[in-house]
Protein backbone atom coordinates (compact mmCIF):
# COMPACT_ATOMS: atom_id res chain seq x y z
CA UNK A 1 0.00 0.00 0.00
CA UNK A 2 1.41 3.41 -1.01
CA UNK A 3 2.27 5.97 1.63
CA UNK A 4 0.30 9.20 2.02
CA UNK A 5 2.82 11.97 2.63
CA UNK A 6 2.25 15.64 3.41
CA UNK A 7 4.83 18.42 3.42
CA UNK A 8 4.15 21.67 5.26
CA UNK A 9 5.99 24.22 3.14
CA UNK A 10 7.72 27.36 4.41
CA UNK A 11 5.77 30.62 4.63
CA UNK A 12 7.84 32.85 2.35
CA UNK A 13 8.50 32.87 -1.39
CA UNK A 14 12.26 32.50 -1.27
CA UNK A 15 12.10 29.67 1.27
CA UNK A 16 9.45 27.84 -0.75
CA UNK A 17 11.71 27.94 -3.78
CA UNK A 18 14.63 26.69 -1.68
CA UNK A 19 12.40 23.81 -0.57
CA UNK A 20 11.67 22.69 -4.15
CA UNK A 21 14.55 20.17 -4.34
CA UNK A 22 13.24 18.38 -1.27
CA UNK A 23 9.65 18.44 -2.54
CA UNK A 24 10.57 17.41 -6.07
CA UNK A 25 12.56 14.39 -4.89
CA UNK A 26 10.19 13.08 -2.19
CA UNK A 27 8.82 10.39 -4.49
CA UNK A 28 12.37 9.30 -5.24
CA UNK A 29 12.61 8.44 -1.55
CA UNK A 30 9.06 7.05 -1.35
CA UNK A 31 8.23 5.32 -4.65
CA UNK A 32 4.50 5.24 -5.49
CA UNK A 33 3.67 7.60 -2.61
CA UNK A 34 0.81 10.11 -2.79
CA UNK A 35 2.29 13.54 -2.08
CA UNK A 36 0.36 16.53 -0.73
CA UNK A 37 1.76 19.96 0.03
CA UNK A 38 0.19 22.27 2.61
CA UNK A 39 1.14 25.86 1.82
CA UNK A 40 0.03 29.48 2.35
CA UNK A 41 -2.61 30.29 -0.27
CA UNK A 42 -0.60 33.16 -1.77
CA UNK A 43 2.21 30.73 -2.64
CA UNK A 44 0.16 27.81 -3.94
CA UNK A 45 0.73 28.67 -7.60
CA UNK A 46 4.40 27.71 -7.19
CA UNK A 47 3.40 24.06 -7.07
CA UNK A 48 1.08 23.93 -10.06
CA UNK A 49 2.17 21.72 -12.98
CA UNK A 50 4.66 19.95 -10.73
CA UNK A 51 4.60 16.22 -11.57
CA UNK A 52 5.95 15.35 -8.11
CA UNK A 53 2.86 16.74 -6.36
CA UNK A 54 -0.54 15.03 -6.33
CA UNK A 55 -2.52 17.49 -4.21
CA UNK A 56 -2.19 21.09 -3.00
CA UNK A 57 -3.90 22.22 0.21
CA UNK A 58 -3.85 25.89 1.13
CA UNK A 59 -3.86 27.88 4.36
CA UNK A 60 -5.52 31.32 4.23
CA UNK A 61 -2.91 34.02 4.83
CA UNK A 62 -4.46 35.19 8.11
CA UNK A 63 -4.11 31.68 9.57
CA UNK A 64 -0.45 31.05 8.72
CA UNK A 65 1.09 32.19 12.03
CA UNK A 66 0.33 31.86 15.74
CA UNK A 67 -2.19 29.78 17.64
CA UNK A 68 -4.84 30.18 14.94
CA UNK A 69 -2.48 28.31 12.59
CA UNK A 70 -2.68 25.24 14.82
CA UNK A 71 -6.46 25.01 14.82
CA UNK A 72 -6.72 25.89 11.13
CA UNK A 73 -4.24 23.17 10.19
CA UNK A 74 -6.22 20.64 12.19
CA UNK A 75 -9.41 21.75 10.42
CA UNK A 76 -7.83 21.52 6.95
CA UNK A 77 -6.34 18.07 7.59
CA UNK A 78 -9.29 16.42 9.35
CA UNK A 79 -10.15 12.99 7.93
CA UNK A 80 -7.08 13.04 5.64
CA UNK A 81 -5.17 10.21 7.39
CA UNK A 82 -1.59 10.95 6.36
CA UNK A 83 1.13 8.43 7.14
CA UNK A 84 4.11 10.80 7.11
CA UNK A 85 4.39 14.55 7.57
CA UNK A 86 7.47 16.68 6.91
CA UNK A 87 7.42 20.04 8.70
CA UNK A 88 9.69 22.59 7.03
CA UNK A 89 8.81 25.76 9.01
CA UNK A 90 10.76 25.81 12.30
CA UNK A 91 7.77 27.01 14.34
CA UNK A 92 6.03 25.33 17.27
CA UNK A 93 2.64 25.94 15.61
CA UNK A 94 3.48 24.06 12.41
CA UNK A 95 4.47 20.97 14.40
CA UNK A 96 1.50 21.25 16.78
CA UNK A 97 -0.91 21.38 13.85
CA UNK A 98 0.45 18.10 12.49
CA UNK A 99 0.39 16.50 15.95
CA UNK A 100 -3.27 17.40 16.50
CA UNK A 101 -4.08 16.13 13.01
CA UNK A 102 -2.95 12.64 14.06
CA UNK A 103 -0.29 12.31 11.37
CA UNK A 104 1.46 9.10 12.33
CA UNK A 105 5.07 10.02 11.60
CA UNK A 106 6.06 13.68 12.03
CA UNK A 107 9.55 14.64 10.85
CA UNK A 108 11.18 17.99 11.51
CA UNK A 109 14.08 19.82 13.07
CA UNK A 110 14.27 20.39 16.83
CA UNK A 111 13.49 24.10 17.06
CA UNK A 112 11.13 26.34 19.03
CA UNK A 113 10.63 23.82 21.85
CA UNK A 114 8.78 21.30 19.70
CA UNK A 115 10.78 18.10 20.27
CA UNK A 116 7.86 16.28 21.91
CA UNK A 117 5.54 17.13 19.01
CA UNK A 118 7.74 15.24 16.54
CA UNK A 119 7.90 11.49 16.22
CA UNK A 120 11.27 11.85 14.50
CA UNK A 121 12.95 14.99 15.93
CA UNK A 122 16.19 15.79 14.12
CA UNK A 123 18.89 18.15 15.43
CA UNK A 124 19.91 21.03 13.19
CA UNK A 125 23.25 20.84 11.40
CA UNK A 126 25.90 22.53 13.52
CA UNK A 127 27.10 25.18 13.51
CA UNK A 128 23.81 26.92 12.72
CA UNK A 129 23.60 28.23 9.13
CA UNK A 130 26.71 26.28 8.14
CA UNK A 131 24.95 24.81 5.10
CA UNK A 132 22.58 26.35 2.59
CA UNK A 133 18.93 26.39 3.64
CA UNK A 134 17.92 24.52 0.49
CA UNK A 135 20.24 21.68 1.47
CA UNK A 136 18.98 21.88 5.06
CA UNK A 137 15.47 21.17 3.77
CA UNK A 138 16.81 18.45 1.51
CA UNK A 139 18.69 16.80 4.36
CA UNK A 140 15.40 16.51 6.23
CA UNK A 141 14.33 14.06 3.51
CA UNK A 142 17.67 12.26 3.53
CA UNK A 143 17.72 11.89 7.29
CA UNK A 144 14.02 11.07 7.50
CA UNK A 145 14.41 8.16 5.09
CA UNK A 146 18.02 7.17 5.68
CA UNK A 147 18.60 7.36 1.91
CA UNK A 148 21.50 9.24 0.33
CA UNK A 149 19.52 10.94 -2.44
CA UNK A 150 21.45 13.19 -4.80
CA UNK A 151 20.73 16.90 -4.33
CA UNK A 152 19.39 18.79 -7.37
CA UNK A 153 19.14 22.60 -7.43
CA UNK A 154 15.71 24.28 -7.26
CA UNK A 155 13.71 24.12 -10.47
CA UNK A 156 10.37 25.81 -10.99
CA UNK A 157 8.10 23.96 -13.42
CA UNK A 158 6.62 26.32 -16.03
CA UNK A 159 4.15 25.19 -18.70
CA UNK A 160 3.03 26.42 -22.13
CA UNK A 161 0.19 28.44 -20.63
CA UNK A 162 2.63 30.30 -18.37
CA UNK A 163 4.84 31.17 -21.33
CA UNK A 164 1.90 32.28 -23.48
CA UNK A 165 0.72 34.62 -20.69
CA UNK A 166 4.24 36.02 -20.37
CA UNK A 167 4.42 36.71 -24.10
CA UNK A 168 1.05 38.49 -24.01
CA UNK A 169 2.08 40.65 -21.05
CA UNK A 170 5.31 41.65 -22.77
CA UNK A 171 3.43 42.62 -25.92
CA UNK A 172 0.90 44.63 -23.89
CA UNK A 173 3.81 46.60 -22.48
CA UNK A 174 5.23 47.15 -25.95
CA UNK A 175 8.10 44.82 -25.16
CA UNK A 176 7.95 42.01 -27.73
CA UNK A 177 10.32 39.12 -27.16
CA UNK A 178 12.56 40.32 -29.99
CA UNK A 179 13.82 43.06 -27.61
CA UNK A 180 16.40 41.79 -25.18
CA UNK A 181 15.77 42.94 -21.63
CA UNK A 182 17.06 42.69 -18.08
CA UNK A 183 14.64 41.99 -15.20
CA UNK A 184 15.22 44.17 -12.14
CA UNK A 185 13.74 43.71 -8.67
CA UNK A 186 14.47 47.12 -7.21
CA UNK A 187 13.03 47.07 -3.69
CA UNK A 188 13.50 44.47 -0.96
CA UNK A 189 10.85 43.96 1.73
CA UNK A 190 13.40 44.35 4.53
CA UNK A 191 14.69 47.92 4.88
CA UNK A 192 18.22 46.69 5.59
CA UNK A 193 18.45 45.10 2.14
CA UNK A 194 17.48 48.09 0.01
CA UNK A 195 20.09 49.45 -2.37
CA UNK A 196 18.03 52.57 -3.08
CA UNK A 197 16.02 54.11 -5.90
CA UNK A 198 18.77 56.51 -6.99
CA UNK A 199 21.30 53.70 -7.39
CA UNK A 200 18.89 51.68 -9.52
CA UNK A 201 18.12 54.73 -11.67
CA UNK A 202 21.83 55.34 -12.31
CA UNK A 203 22.46 51.64 -13.05
CA UNK A 204 19.49 51.38 -15.40
CA UNK A 205 20.51 54.50 -17.32
CA UNK A 206 23.94 52.98 -17.93
CA UNK A 207 22.45 49.67 -19.07
CA UNK A 208 20.16 51.48 -21.52
CA UNK A 209 22.86 53.80 -22.84
CA UNK A 210 25.90 51.53 -22.93
CA UNK A 211 24.42 48.07 -23.42
CA UNK A 212 21.36 49.05 -25.49
CA UNK A 213 19.06 46.81 -23.46
CA UNK A 214 15.57 47.43 -22.15
CA UNK A 215 14.58 47.03 -18.49
CA UNK A 216 11.59 45.26 -16.99
CA UNK A 217 10.83 46.10 -13.35
CA UNK A 218 9.24 43.40 -11.19
CA UNK A 219 7.83 43.51 -7.66
CA UNK A 220 4.71 43.61 -5.54
CA UNK A 221 1.86 46.11 -5.36
CA UNK A 222 3.83 47.94 -2.64
CA UNK A 223 6.64 48.51 -5.15
CA UNK A 224 4.48 49.96 -7.94
CA UNK A 225 4.86 53.67 -7.11
CA UNK A 226 8.64 53.49 -6.86
CA UNK A 227 8.70 51.50 -10.07
CA UNK A 228 6.76 54.27 -11.80
CA UNK A 229 9.29 56.81 -10.52
CA UNK A 230 12.23 54.76 -11.82
CA UNK A 231 10.59 54.24 -15.21
CA UNK A 232 9.78 57.94 -15.50
CA UNK A 233 13.34 58.95 -14.60
CA UNK A 234 14.94 56.51 -17.05
CA UNK A 235 12.55 56.70 -19.99
CA UNK A 236 9.18 55.01 -20.42
CA UNK A 237 10.16 53.55 -23.78
CA UNK A 238 13.14 51.71 -22.30
CA UNK A 239 11.80 50.81 -18.83
CA UNK A 240 8.55 48.93 -18.23
CA UNK A 241 7.11 48.65 -14.72
CA UNK A 242 5.24 45.39 -14.07
CA UNK A 243 5.39 45.62 -10.27
CA UNK A 244 2.10 44.59 -8.71
CA UNK A 245 0.37 43.33 -11.85
CA UNK A 246 1.71 39.80 -12.23
CA UNK A 247 1.03 36.51 -10.46
CA UNK A 248 3.92 34.38 -9.21
CA UNK A 249 3.82 32.18 -12.28
CA UNK A 250 3.52 35.11 -14.66
CA UNK A 251 6.53 36.89 -13.19
CA UNK A 252 8.48 33.61 -13.22
CA UNK A 253 7.72 33.09 -16.90
CA UNK A 254 8.65 36.70 -17.72
CA UNK A 255 11.94 36.48 -15.80
CA UNK A 256 12.72 33.22 -17.61
CA UNK A 257 12.81 35.20 -20.87
CA UNK A 258 15.25 37.82 -19.55
CA UNK A 259 18.92 37.89 -20.43
CA UNK A 260 19.75 38.64 -16.80
CA UNK A 261 18.24 39.39 -13.38
CA UNK A 262 19.46 42.10 -10.98
CA UNK A 263 18.22 42.47 -7.39
CA UNK A 264 18.64 41.62 -3.73
CA UNK A 265 18.64 38.17 -2.13
CA UNK A 266 14.85 37.98 -2.21
CA UNK A 267 11.92 36.02 -3.60
CA UNK A 268 12.28 37.28 -7.20
CA UNK A 269 16.01 36.43 -7.17
CA UNK A 270 15.19 32.87 -6.12
CA UNK A 271 12.63 32.73 -8.93
CA UNK A 272 15.32 33.79 -11.41
CA UNK A 273 17.62 31.03 -10.15
CA UNK A 274 14.84 28.45 -10.32
CA UNK A 275 14.08 29.26 -13.98
CA UNK A 276 17.74 29.23 -14.99
CA UNK A 277 18.46 32.93 -15.53
CA UNK A 278 21.90 34.42 -14.69
CA UNK A 279 21.71 36.92 -11.84
CA UNK A 280 23.52 39.72 -10.07
CA UNK A 281 22.68 39.62 -6.35
CA UNK A 282 23.25 42.57 -4.01
CA UNK A 283 23.86 40.97 -0.64
CA UNK A 284 24.20 42.67 2.74
CA UNK A 285 22.13 41.88 5.82
CA UNK A 286 21.28 38.44 4.44
CA UNK A 287 23.68 35.50 4.76
CA UNK A 288 24.67 34.27 1.28
CA UNK A 289 26.13 31.09 2.74
CA UNK A 290 22.67 29.98 3.84
CA UNK A 291 20.17 31.80 1.60
CA UNK A 292 21.80 33.00 -1.64
CA UNK A 293 19.80 31.94 -4.74
CA UNK A 294 21.06 28.59 -6.04
CA UNK A 295 21.95 29.80 -9.54
CA UNK A 296 24.53 28.15 -11.76
CA UNK A 297 25.54 31.54 -13.15
CA UNK A 298 25.61 34.48 -10.72
CA UNK A 299 27.69 37.26 -9.23
CA UNK A 300 27.15 38.11 -5.55
CA UNK A 301 28.13 41.67 -4.57
CA UNK A 302 29.05 41.45 -0.90
CA UNK A 303 31.11 43.64 1.46
CA UNK A 304 32.68 40.76 3.40
CA UNK A 305 35.19 43.06 5.13
CA UNK A 306 32.47 44.66 7.29
CA UNK A 307 32.20 43.41 10.88
CA UNK A 308 28.41 43.68 10.77
CA UNK A 309 27.95 41.87 7.44
CA UNK A 310 25.21 39.22 7.31
CA UNK A 311 23.58 40.49 10.50
CA UNK A 312 20.23 39.09 9.20
CA UNK A 313 18.40 42.04 10.77
CA UNK A 314 15.53 43.60 8.85
CA UNK A 315 16.38 47.11 10.09
CA UNK A 316 19.98 48.27 10.28
CA UNK A 317 20.90 48.96 13.96
CA UNK A 318 23.92 51.11 13.06
CA UNK A 319 23.94 54.89 13.13
CA UNK A 320 25.75 57.70 11.35
CA UNK A 321 28.23 56.79 8.62
CA UNK A 322 27.95 53.09 9.51
CA UNK A 323 24.21 53.01 8.74
CA UNK A 324 23.42 50.55 5.91
CA UNK A 325 27.10 50.39 4.98
CA UNK A 326 26.67 46.89 3.52
CA UNK A 327 24.42 48.43 0.85
CA UNK A 328 25.86 51.92 0.43
CA UNK A 329 29.35 50.56 -0.25
CA UNK A 330 28.15 48.55 -3.24
CA UNK A 331 28.78 51.03 -6.03
CA UNK A 332 26.82 51.45 -9.24
CA UNK A 333 30.04 50.99 -11.21
CA UNK A 334 30.78 47.65 -9.53
CA UNK A 335 27.22 46.48 -10.16
CA UNK A 336 27.38 47.53 -13.81
CA UNK A 337 30.63 45.61 -14.24
CA UNK A 338 28.93 42.49 -12.81
CA UNK A 339 26.11 42.92 -15.34
CA UNK A 340 28.65 43.22 -18.17
CA UNK A 341 30.52 40.14 -16.93
CA UNK A 342 27.45 37.91 -16.96
CA UNK A 343 26.21 39.20 -20.30
CA UNK A 344 29.52 38.31 -21.93
Per-residue pLDDT tens digits for 23-61: 999 999 999 999 999 999 999 999 999 999 999 999 999
- State the average pLDDT over residues 326-342: 95
What local confidence, expressed as pLDDT, does residue 53 receive?
96
Q: What are phi and psi of 97, to 5 degrees?
A: -60, -40
What local confidence, expressed as pLDDT, does residue 267 receive?
92
Is pLDDT at 341 greater than 90 in this prediction? yes
CB 222 within 8 Å of CB 240: no
What local confidence, expressed as pLDDT, does residue 110 receive?
94
How many percent of the chain have pLDDT more than 90?
Answer: 81
Question: Does residue 164 share a domain with residue 138?
Answer: no
What local confidence, expressed as pLDDT, does residue 129 receive?
73
Identify whether 136 is part of a domain: yes
Strand partners, 85: 6, 106
What local confidence, expressed as pLDDT, does residue 177 receive?
62
Identify whether 155 is part of a domain: no
- State the average pLDDT over residues 72-82: 93
How confident is residue 188, by pLDDT bands cut at 50, 70 and 90?
confident
Question: Does residue 108 share a domain with residue 76?
Answer: yes
Indicate the range of 31-40, 134-143, 220-229, 284-293 predicted with least confidence. Answer: 284-293
Nearest to 108 by CA among 91, 127, 122: 122
Strand partners, 55: 36
Residues in the chain, overall count: 344
Is pLDDT at 178 greater than 70 in this prediction? no
How confident is residue 1, by pLDDT bands cut at 50, 70 and 90?
low
CB 225 within 8 Å of CB 243: no
Question: Does residue 214 share a domain with residue 140?
Answer: no
Is pLDDT at 14 greater than 70 in this prediction? yes
How confident is residue 334, by pLDDT bands cut at 50, 70 and 90?
very high
Identify whether 150 is part of a domain: no
Question: Does residue 210 share a domain with residue 91?
Answer: no
Is pLDDT at 126 greater than 80 in this prediction? no
Q: How far apart are CA 313 and CA 11, in angstroms?
A: 18
Complete DSSP assignment for 84-128: EEEE-S--HHHHHHHHHTT-SEEEEE--TT-GGG-SEEEPPPSST
Identify whether 153 is part of a domain: no
CA quadruple 90, 95, 15, 327: dihedral sign:
negative
Is pLDDT at 105 greater than 70 in this prediction? yes
How confident is residue 329, by pLDDT bands cut at 50, 70 and 90?
very high
Give the domain range for residue 263. 160-343
The total number of structural domains in the chain stands at 2
Question: Does residue 320 share a domain with residue 193?
Answer: yes
Identify whether 152 is part of a domain: no
Identify whether 211 is part of a domain: yes
Is pLDDT at 179 greater than 80 in this prediction? no
Question: Does residue 297 share a domain with residue 166?
Answer: yes
Question: Does residue 339 share a domain with residue 190?
Answer: yes
Question: Does residue 22 share a domain with residue 131?
Answer: yes
**CATH code of the domain containing 332:** 3.40.50.2000
Per-residue pLDDT tens digits for 260-312: 999 988 899 999 999 999 999 999 888 888 999 999 899 999 998 898 998 88
Question: Does residue 339 share a domain with residue 261?
Answer: yes
Question: Across the chain, what does the average pLDDT equal?
Answer: 93
Amino acid sequence: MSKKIIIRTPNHLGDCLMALPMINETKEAYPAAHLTVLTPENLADLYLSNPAIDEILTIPSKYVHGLVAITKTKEILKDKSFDIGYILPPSFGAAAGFKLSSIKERIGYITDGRRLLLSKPLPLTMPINSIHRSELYYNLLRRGTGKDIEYVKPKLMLNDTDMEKAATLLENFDLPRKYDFIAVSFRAVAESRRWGKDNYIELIKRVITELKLKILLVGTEDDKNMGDEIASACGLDEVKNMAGITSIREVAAIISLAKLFVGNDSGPAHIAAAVGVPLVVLSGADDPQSTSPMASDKVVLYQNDLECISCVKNICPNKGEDFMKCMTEISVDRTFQAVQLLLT
